[in-house]
Amino acid sequence: GEDVEQSLFLSVREGDSSVINCTYTDSSSTYLYWYKQEPGAGLQLLTYIFSNMDMKQDQRLTVLLNKKDKHLSLRIADTQTGDSAIYFCAESLEGNTPLVFGKGTRLSVIA
């Protein structure tokens, strides 16, 4: 079955890099996503990666996928106070099935 796990909290200093980790159990997952949720808001799609890729970079965001260990990470370079939010990892089979979310990692950025 599908299950996605994330650590609940991460605290970093402004200007440092943040690394948010996620593990998933379904080896059939073909799409893996990172969403950001700010207080009182919906989910913002940050980036996604196909399971046939190892890495994807998009400006300050770098996604790394280790298929063997079923491990996904999101690195935010030069973390800013505006990056403080909850980050959700999600998986989907074949891209047109429901998203299965982790519980979210609350990132706190200290000025």
Total residues interacting with other proteins, rule: CB under 8 A: 23
User: How many other C-beta atoms lie within 10 A of the C-beta of residue 52?
Assistant: 8
Q: Read off the DSSP letter of residue 15.
A: T
Token pair for 96 = 């047109």
Distance CA 3, CA 16 (A): 30
Which listed residue (48, 60, 62, 64) binds other proteins by CB under 8 A? Answer: 48
Which listed residue (27, 52, 59, 96) binds other proteins by CB under 8 A? Answer: 96
Helices (H), 5-109: none
Q: Does 71 bind other proteins (CB under 8 A)?
A: no
Q: Does 95 bind other proteins (CB under 8 A)?
A: yes
**Residue found by looking up tokens 């996904």 in the block:** 72
CB of 44 to other proteins, least distance (A): 7
Q: Does 35 bind other proteins (CB under 8 A)?
A: yes
If DSSP codes are grouped into helix, strand and coil, which group holds residue 83? helix
The residue ranges that bind other proteins (CB under 8 A) are 31, 35, 40-45, 48, 88, 90, 92, 94-104
